């Protein structure tokens, strides 16, 4: 039986692994993807992590993982399917049929993109509809693309796409953007970006791939077609907390209720990073959560001796 199993190796899971290993815990990290780094891997440029201005997200993910590897953290590539609370131990089932045991578990499964839920979105996903501008932007070089959303990620996506697309539309349902001022200024200075405030996507249309969006102006109630070959959806995130649904520790938004010590009301179960209910979901807060969760888990494991 391990002292600690960490589920997920994004910034929160990797930070937890570093702190747990240094605290002397027998630690295993479970990650479903072949690469660690989580959402950071899909980030073109990270400009707000202290000491690493402008770092490429992929490089950052690799550096985080290298740090954990250097300390000898043990990793296993697998999808966690369930967590069972068996009193003094937690039993984790994984997709290769294995069952792993630990005294404590840190849930660091992060978040995934939210969907628009409009006709055509599912049908054209991978054929013009994308949730990652850094991953797919290059396919739309010289073409027209639309970004949907008004937060930091939407603004960053539009700025990134404007470097290669002929024209970028930013569609936002509100009449002002939510993203950081510095990003708003950068975006508004770009000649090939048009911001459509108070507009929503009603449908994504095309034959074999995206050709146009049916868009509605919420002020005038008028709908019209907007020509674009790519649609980048950046309308928020959804926490990945299905694994802890049986423990009844999530709020109505699906986030795990846990304080700064990352302890949930289930003994031995901790939550770190984007899964946790908190005001700011960023790399720096995920990393901080990882450290706090590992320290709380170490104290819990010691208390079980
Ligand atoms: P994640 O990064 O989501 O990692 C979760 C990990 O858990 C993943 O590796 C996933 O594969 C794994 N996992 C999930 N379920 C399972 C399972 N059942 N079994 C095994 N493994 C599982 N933040 C900033 O600070 N600055 C930025 O500039 C910035 N830009 C961003 C740009 C984009 C496009 C996006 C999407 C996010 C950005 N963020 C940025 C936010 C930041 O990336 C997140 O806050 C951070 O990655 C959260 O870390 P995490 O470890 O909690 O979760």
pLDDT of residue 42: 81
Ligand 1 atom 27, closest CA? 46
Query: Mean pLDDT across the chain, nearest whole number?
Result: 96
Distance 188 CA to ligand 1 centre (A): 28
- Closest atom, ligand 1, to C-alpha of 42: 34
* Known catalytic residue at 261: no
* Known catalytic residue at 135: yes
Ligand 1 atom 8, closest CA? 38
Q: How confident is the model at residue 43 (pLDDT cuts 50, 70, 90)?
A: confident
Global pTM? 0.86
Contact 136 CB / ligand 1 (< 6 Å): no
> Residue with structure tokens 């089932």?
93
pLDDT of residue 47: 84
pLDDT of residue 92: 98
What b/e string do you get for 144-159 counting C-beta neighbours within 10 Å, with b at 16 or more? bbbbbbbbbbbbbbbb
Average pLDDT for residues 208-222, to the nearest whole number? 97
* Residue-wise DSSP of the chain: -EEEEEE--SHHHHHHHHHHHHTT--EEEEESSSSS-GGGGG-S-B--STT-TTB-HHHHHHHHHHHHHHTT-EEEE--EEEEEEETTEEEEEETTS-EEEEEEEEE---EEE-----TTTTTTBTTTEES-HHHHGGGGTTSEEEEE--SHHHHHHHHHHHTTSSEEEEE-SSSS--S-HHHHHHHHT-TTEEEETTEEEEEEEESSSEEEEEEEETTT--EEEEE-SEEEE-S-EEE--GGGGGGT-B-TTS-B---TT-B-SSTTEEE-GGGB--S--SHHHHHHHHHHHHHHHHHHHHHH-
Distance 12 CA to ligand 1 centre (A): 8
Statement: residue 135 has pLDDT above 80: no
Contact 79 CB / ligand 1 (< 6 Å): yes
Pocket probe mutation, ligand 1, options 110, 186, 294, max atoms within 8 Å of Cβ? 110
Beta-carbon contacts of residue 15 (< 8 Å; ≥ 6 apart): 64, 272, 286, 287, 288, 289, 290, 291, 294
- Closest atom, ligand 1, to C-alpha of 281: 45
Active-site residue (options: 47, 95, 96, 135): 135
pLDDT of residue 279: 87
User: Crossing angle, helix 11-22 and helix 283-304, to 10 degrees?
Assistant: 40
- β-strand pairing of 199-206 with 210-217: antiparallel
Active-site residue (options: 3, 78, 136, 262): 136
């Amino acid at each position: 039986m391990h002292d600690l199993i960490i589920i997920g190796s994004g910034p929160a899971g990797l930070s937890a692994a570093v702190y747990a290993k240094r605290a002397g815990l027998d630690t295993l990290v479970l990650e479903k993807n072949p690469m660690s780094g989580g959402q950071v891997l899909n980030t073109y440029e990270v400009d707000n992590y202290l000491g690493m201005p402008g770092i490429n997200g992929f490089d950052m993910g690799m550096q985080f993982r290298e740090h954990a590897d250097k300390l000898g953290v043990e990793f296993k590539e697998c999808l966690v399917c369930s967590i069972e609370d068996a009193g003094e131990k937690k039993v984790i089932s994984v997709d290769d049929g294995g069952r792993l045991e630990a005294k404590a578990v840190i849930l660091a499964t992060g978040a995934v993109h939210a969907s628009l839920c409009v006709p055509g979105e599912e049908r054209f996903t991978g054929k013009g509809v994308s949730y990652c501008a850094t991953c797919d932007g290059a396919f739309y070089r010289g073409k027209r693309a639309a970004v949907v959303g008004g937060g930091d990620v939407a603004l960053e996506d539009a700025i990134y796409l404007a470097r290669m697309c002929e024209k970028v539309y930013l569609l936002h349902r509100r009449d002002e953007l939510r993203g950081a001022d510095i990003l708003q200024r950068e975006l508004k200075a770009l000649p090939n970006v048009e911001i459509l405030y108070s507009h929503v996507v009603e449908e994504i249309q095309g034959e074999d791939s995206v050709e146009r969006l049916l868009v509605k102006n919420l002020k005038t109630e008028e709908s019209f077609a907007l020509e674009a070959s790519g649609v980048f959806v950046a309308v928020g995130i959804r926490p990945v907390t299905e694994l802890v649904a049986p423990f009844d520790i999530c709020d109505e938004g699906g986030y795990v209720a846990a304080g700064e010590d990352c302890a949930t009301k289930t003994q031995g179960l901790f939550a770190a990073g984007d899964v946790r209910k908190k005001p700011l979901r960023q790399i720096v807060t995920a990393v901080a959560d990882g450290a706090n969760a590992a320290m709380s888990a170490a104290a819990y494991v010691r208390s079980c001796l």
